[in-house]
Structure 1
């Protein structure tokens, strides 16, 4: 199960490619990293869901604090990698290759909100128009380099040859990452990424943790509790969100600490990951993977057999309402990220947030079906792009715009 998160590219799609790339296949100052206690307490589906997993929380918190410390240090030490920069690579060609690959992948990988390819293509085209106006080319080349590295890593496990990938293959990929960070890129794509990390303070640990998410997909198809699922979601989605925030940058008006911004970015990533999981339950089950907390299933009187049979029961409805409630709580927490970003980046995060919420609404409207994959049709997708841009300009909340989207889709169906 690969991820989908949102980073950017003015070529145009890198932002969206990354921000929906960490999502499925992934701090408030010194407070709790992701408000797990309040979020979990709002979900009473099982005893364990209301307990805070200190070990998992502390593990992720330390990684985020390390990234925050790196940002502060690199602000003081700009050009840290410059002395290591190699001269044997053509950076223009390297970035061109990244842009080409990212653009090629975007139509199938960008926003997986619909199985209807014309719908996806239309949305992709509109995003290209808006992003080409808003985003600066140099920064977006960096987004392309980052998006391509994540894509190539993801393909090791979820690509057409993923069946042959072993832990040793991922170990070699991680060694290649180490070489890249020490000025020894292996090809043009790596050269572009090395140049990117010379200009943006992104800790190697985030890349290593993303690779660890691929390892988890190799060896794990069940998650005993939400704490395990949260950790998985951090690896495949949260890491990408934290990388993307570094490239997007915060607004000059933002008073938030790096830890606070990262907390919101993680919540945004977790919300996206959980939404994808809930949308794809039937499809994942047919591939032998169930990304739902096993203890919460048991507490609801359900098991893998219920999912494999695909019969919607009252127990299933009640269970799914709790899961959707959790995803919405993370979405609300992640929404706080938007106000801290540069104005040109806000609309894309709004777009993903609004689409995620529509998917959750559609799962409910479809009576939590195992066979019908919740999607957002072309009309709602395109109107949501406009609505997201309107929110980002107005700085308001999303509720009124969600209602506007629904109204416009009723008045102008197509």
Structure 2
């Protein structure tokens, strides 16, 4: 089956422009071929997320009445795309194209979809390890796929681990920022053990009198995000210049979200934390210098959570 690649890329370009101004800006720093592939990957991730959460371009998450059916649709369309067959959805067809071009294995796609499966069955993390496992499925796996898109060798596990770290950093920042929005959709990604530690009853973390305690946990999420961001930055040394520039810019832009949540304390959820266009442009400039100075070679901290695997790419 031959697809109109140009049309699929244009669809993906529009998707990232509407779905994430931060990623859209960072993606402009890639070389043209990598940029198009990054858009195609993003388009599929965005489409899966929107399907799973009943939202449009990442906005308006709601409680869906048919989570199992939506998950089945994601699985079916992804399977068709990976088989090179028309899925009926340009975002999925685009993923099939980039998966073939960059040899992205089905196992990684399955890992991401498993994150949606966890949400579909109302899963909640009990421990910090559970939290990291979830973050791997919904974001770390995407980091590994992006590394492959940027040309990282499939057996370069050290660099793939650093790429996973960036996904974890992004997701931990998202969780800290979106605690209130997630609560409105009857979701909570704060580990039960953390809530017990803070003496916050289940389901009551957004009540005003618990805000000071909740702020402690948000700062903890931001600190964990910063640790994984720092590890990912070291991994950028293994990337081509323009890819490293894009990665470091994205790391700074998204890192600012976690840092701002921590700074606001108990007022972090009064208004949604966003990164201004000026701040984004500032990171584009700053990360250029960081890219020129990037160095690698340091051993990844053993304290950091690492994706378990039984073979290349796999988390389990």
Measure how far apart 1:273 and its partner are. 0.3
Distance 1:169 1:377, change over 3 A: closer
Separation (CA, whole Å) in 2 of partners of 1:313 and 1:235: 29
CA contact (8 A) 1:282 1:371 kept: no
CA contact (8 A) 1:156 1:165 kept: no
**1:136 counterpart residue number:** 32
1:317-364 CA distances to partner (integer Å, 9 max, x unpaired)? Answer: 433333322222122222222111111111121112112332222223
1:147-173 CA distances to partner (integer Å, 9 max, x unpaired)? Answer: 222222222112349725442442344
CA contact (8 A) 2:173 2:257 kept: yes
Separation (CA, whole Å) in 1 of partners of 2:94 and 2:222: 39
Measure how far apart 1:127 and its partner are. 4.9
Separation (CA, whole Å) in 1 of partners of 2:271 and 2:168: 23
Measure how far apart 1:263 and its partner are. 0.9
Separation (CA, whole Å) in 1 of partners of 2:251 and 2:93: 33
**2:307 counterpart residue number:** none
Measure how far apart 1:246 and its partner are. 0.6
- Aligned partner of 2:273 among 365, 374, 381: 374
Structure 1 residue ranges, 4+ long, deviating more than 6 angstroms after superposition: none
- Aligned partner of 1:159 among 51, 54, 60: 54
Instruction: State the TM-score, normalized to the length of structure 1.
Output: 0.62
**1:245 counterpart residue number:** 147
Separation (CA, whole Å) in 2 of partners of 1:366 and 1:339: 33
In the alignment, does 2:17 pair up with 1:107? yes
In the alignment, does 2:181 pair up with 1:283? yes
Instruction: State the TM-score, normalized to the length of structure 2.
Output: 0.79
Give the number of the structure whose alpha-carbon radius of gyration is greater. 1
- Aligned partner of 2:75 among 161, 164, 174: 174
Q: Number of residue pairs matched?
A: 288
Separation (CA, whole Å) in 2 of partners of 1:212 and 1:127: 27
Q: Secondary structure at the match of 1:150?
A: helix
List aligned pairs for 1:42-81, cutoff 5 A: none
Unaligned 5+ segments in structure 1 are: 1-85, 113-122, 398-414
Unaligned 5+ segments in structure 2 are: 57-61, 297-316
Larger RCO (alpha carbons 8 Å, 6+ apart): 1
Separation (CA, whole Å) in 2 of partners of 1:315 and 1:194: 45
1:56-78 CA distances to partner (integer Å, 9 max, x unpaired)? Answer: xxxxxxxxxxxxxxxxxxxxxxx
Distance 1:173 1:380, change over 3 A: closer
- Aligned partner of 2:166 among 265, 268, 276: 268
Separation (CA, whole Å) in 2 of partners of 1:358 and 1:241: 19
Distance 1:185 1:274, change over 3 A: same
CA contact (8 A) 1:223 1:294 kept: yes
Separation (CA, whole Å) in 1 of partners of 2:291 and 2:45: 27
Distance 1:191 1:156, change over 3 A: closer
In the alignment, does 2:134 pair up with 1:232? yes
1:242-293 CA distances to partner (integer Å, 9 max, x unpaired)? Answer: 1111110149xxxx96110111111111111001110111222222211111
In the alignment, does 2:248 pair up with 1:353? no
In the alignment, does 2:218 pair up with 1:316? no
**2:310 counterpart residue number:** none
Measure how far apart 1:313 and its partner are. 5.2
- Aligned partner of 1:365 among 248, 254, 263: 263
Distance 1:396 1:384, change over 3 A: farther
**2:239 counterpart residue number:** 341
